[in-house]
Amino acid sequence: MTLVNELESLVPDLAKGLDQASSLEVLEELRIDFLGRKGRLAQIMGRLPELAPEERPVVGKTANAVKESLNNLFDQRKAALEDAREAEKLSRFDPSMPGRMPKVGSLHPVTQVMDEICQVFKGLGYDIVTGPEVENDYHNFEALNMPPEHPARDMQDTLYVTENILLRTHTSPLQVRTMKERKPPVAAIAPGKVYRRDSDLTHTPMFHQIEGFMVDRNVSMADLRGTLTSFLQQVFGKNTKVRFRPSFFPFTEPSAEVDISCCICGGEGYKDGAPCRVCKTTGWVEILGCGMIDPEVFKSVGYDPEEYSGFAFGLGVERVTMLKYGIGDLRMFFENDVRFLRQFA
Ligand code: DAH
Mean pLDDT of 59-64: 87
The H-or-E segment that residue 332 falls in is helix 332-335
Report yes or no on 184 lying in a domain: yes
Do 180 and 218 share a domain, yes or no?
Answer: yes
State how many domains the chain has: 2
Among 133, 172, 193, which residue has the most ligand 1 atoms within 8 Å of its CB, making it the best to mutate? 172
Same domain, 237 and 287: yes
Which of the listed residues 31, 65, 91 is the one where a domain comes to its end? 91
Question: Same structural domain for residues 62 and 169?
Answer: no
The answer to whether residues 143 and 171 belong to one domain is yes
| Max avg pLDDT among 17-31, 268-282, 286-300 | 286-300
Q: Is residue 146 part of a domain?
A: yes
Higher pLDDT, 10 or 257: 257
Confidence of residue 199 (pLDDT cuts 50, 70, 90): confident
Instruction: Note the pLDDT tens digit of each residue in 153-196.
Output: 775 689 999 999 999 999 999 999 999 999 999 999 999 999 99
Of 35, 65, 91, which residue constitutes the final position of a domain?
Answer: 91
Which pLDDT tens digit goes with each residue over 234-261? Answer: 999 999 999 999 999 999 999 999 999 9
Nearest atom, ligand 1, residue 314 CA? 8
Are the C-beta atoms of residues 144 and 172 closer than 8 Å to each other? yes
Specify the CATH number for the domain of residue 293: 3.30.930.10
34 lies in the same domain as 175 = no
d(CA 39, CA 13): 13
Distance 191 CA to ligand 1 centre (A): 13
Are 195 and 232 within one domain?
yes
Clarify whether residues 269 and 173 are in a common domain: yes
Give, using CA atoms, the residue closest to atom 5 of ligand 1: 314
Quote the ligand 1 centre to 252 CA distance (angstroms).
9
74-84 per-position pLDDT tens digit: 999 999 888 98
96: in domain: no
Look up the domain containing 77 and give its range.
3-91
pLDDT at 237: 93
Helix pair 56-91, 3-20: axis angle to 10 deg? 0
Q: How far is CA 49 from CA 57, 60, 65, in A?
A: 12, 12, 20
Does residue 137 share a domain with residue 73?
A: no
pTM of the model: 0.73
| Residue 99 covered by a domain | no
Atom of ligand 1 nearest to the CA of 291: 13
Cβ(255)–Cβ(247) below 8 Å: yes
Same domain, 145 and 256: yes
Is 138 within a domain? Answer: yes
Computed over every residue of the chain, the mean pLDDT equals 92
What pLDDT does 48 receive?
Answer: 84
Most confident of 2-6, 52-56, 206-210: 206-210
Residue 98 CA to residue 191 CA, distance in Å, equals: 43
Q: Which residues pair with 270 in a beta bridge?
A: 275
Give whichever of 8-22, 71-85, 91-105, 106-120 has the largest mean pLDDT: 106-120
User: In this structure, is residue 154 part of a structural domain?
Assistant: yes
Cα separation values, 42 from 8, 75, 77, 137, Å: 14, 20, 22, 95
Output helix, strand, coil percentages for the chain, rounded to the nearest 5.
45, 20, 35
Among 261, 196, 191, 187, CA closest to 224: 187
Residue 2 pLDDT greater than 70, yes or no: yes
Domain identity same for 68 and 120? no
Q: Let me know whether 184 and 77 are in one domain.
A: no
Q: What is the pLDDT of residue 187?
A: 98
Minimum CA distance residue for ligand 1 atom 8: 314
Is residue 152 very low, low, confident or very high in pLDDT (cuts 50, 70, 90)? low
- Percent of the chain at pLDDT exceeding 70: 99
Task: Point out the domain boundary residue: 59, 91, 123.
Answer: 91
Question: Residue 97: inside a domain, yes or no?
Answer: no
Minimal-distance CA residue to ligand 1 atom 3: 170
Question: Ligand 1 in contact with 40 (CB < 6 A)?
Answer: no
pLDDT given at position 155: 59
Question: Strands (DSSP E) along the chain, which ranges?
Answer: 127-128, 134-136, 165-167, 186-195, 206-216, 242-249, 252-261, 270-271, 274-275, 284-293, 309-316
Q: Is the pLDDT confidence value at 343 over 90?
A: yes
Task: Tell me how far apart the alpha carbons of residues 253 and 291 are, in angstroms, rounded to a whole number.
Answer: 6
Instruction: Confirm whether 101 is domain-assigned.
Output: no
**Which residue CA neighbors atom 12 of ligand 1 most closely?**
313
CA atoms within 13 A on the CB side of 229: 11
Taking alpha carbons only, the member of 29, 33, 34 closest to residue 11 is 34
| Cα separations in angstroms, 180 against 172, 184, 252, 298 | 13, 10, 17, 9
**pLDDT: is 150 or 172 the higher one?**
172
- What pLDDT shows up at residue 184? 97
Residues 303 and 219 in one domain: yes
Closest CA to 174 of 161, 159, 186: 186
For ligand 1, pick from 126, 140, 313, 319 the residue to mutate: most ligand atoms within 8 Å of CB.
Answer: 313
The pLDDT, as a whole number, for residue 90 is: 86
**Ligand 1 binding pocket includes 309 (Cβ within 6 Å):** no
